[in-house]
Chain A
């Protein structure tokens, strides 16, 4: 379980406070009471609501970028090169 960072409890969070703890917020490393304060701040702050939403979307979009397949010609070239090396032509290159 992740260790949650202790932060001094303020009565009200400012926008700067929210921005400074954004990472912990998304990494779920934040205490319940601070989380509650963020949610309360969001209810009255459009800017921070947008900031949190956009930060979340960046993480989401990074996850949905698909993987590229290794092009066949690259794959073959790599295998032939590795074969050259492992079959002994360059075996002296294998450091002891």
Chain B
């Protein structure tokens, strides 16, 4: 077997740069890494990628509900971040800036898909679902898995149902629900990521939760 030494050497170089985080991450603050990355330090940028790739991948996966699309968004987000790093003014944290890029890329992808599929406006569906205080034929109750005899199995089915329902929430509300209730950002941070006011964050969050609730009361009762 002939080993392509040049190629092998290149691969070694890549993997030397990107070792598992627990072993090779630089013991530097996010701010310091950003400063170094801006000055052209490749290693610092690679560290930022490793720190945040999982969060960005999950954000994209939750927005798009598709692993392949999430992978595309992940790559595009970091490439854009790198290209525009010098424009990042550090008024917010680096990860909220990254979230903003990832959400913009995700929303654009969603719009493209919607156009391709020629679907009815998601916003229209959202408004009609929100308007009804539907009880799903279940008296408005959502079962709590903790009280189930098959607790673990039920929990898995519930998680799947919530995951699927999340995909139906209009993107503008979904992004707020993901950032606030799943990623644990504060109202202020969400407002910063999305460049909207705090009252708008609260309103979208509430609408998103109610929308989910209305979907889930019927579905979870059938589990």
Q: Which residues of A contact B (CB under 8 A)?
A: 19, 22-23, 27, 46-47, 50-51, 53-55, 57-59, 61-71, 74-75, 77-83, 85-87, 93-96
Question: How far does the Cβ of B186 sit from chain A's closest Cβ, in whole Å?
Answer: 10
Quick check: B140 and A64 within 8 Å, CB to CB?
A: no
In the assembled complex, B193 has its CB within 8 A of some CB on chain A: no
Residues of chain B with a CB closer than 8 A to A27's CB = 202
Give every chain A residue within 8 A of B57 (Cβ-Cβ): 68, 70, 74
Residue of A with least CB distance to B177:
A62
Q: Is the CB of B142 within 8 A of A94?
A: no
Interface presence of B168 (CB below 8 A): no
B93 to chain A, nearest CB (A): 19
Q: Which residues of B contact A (CB under 8 A)?
A: 13-14, 17-18, 42, 45-46, 49, 53-54, 57-58, 61, 67, 70-71, 74-75, 78-79, 82-87, 133, 135, 139-142, 144, 155, 158-159, 162-163, 166, 177, 181-182, 202, 205-206, 209-210, 212-213, 216-217
Chain B residues positioned under 8 Å from A51 (CB to CB): 133, 140
Whether the Cβ atoms of B84 and A95 lie closer than 8 Å is yes
B206:A23 contact, CB within 8 angstroms: yes
Q: Kindly list chain B residues whose C-beta atoms are within 8 Å of the C-beta of A79.
A: 14, 17-18, 46, 49
Interface hub of B18, B70, B135, B177 (most chain A Cβ within 10 A): B18
Q: Is the CB of A71 within 8 A of B67?
A: yes
Question: Is there contact, CB below 8 Å, between A54 and B159?
Answer: no
A23 and B17 alpha carbons, distance in the complex (Å): 47
Closest to A78 in B: B75
Q: In the docked arrangement, what's the CA distance between A64 and B86, Å?
A: 37
Contact A47 B140 (CB under 8 A): yes
Q: Are A61 and B159 in contact (CB under 8 A)?
A: yes
The answer to whether A54 touches B158 (Cβ under 8 A) is: no
Q: Report the minimum CB–CB distance from B12 to chain A (whole Å).
A: 12
Chain A residues with Cβ below 8 Å from B182 are 62-63, 65
In the assembled complex, the CB of B220 is this many whole angstroms from the nearest CB of chain A, namely: 9
A95-B206 in contact given A61-B158, A64-B159, A82-B78 (Cβ < 8 Å)? no
Q: How far is the CA of A54 from the CA of B181 in the complex (A)?
A: 15
Contact B83 A94 (CB under 8 A): yes
Contact A19–B74 (Cβ < 8 Å): no
Residue of A54, A74, A93, A94 near B216 (CB, 8 A) is A54
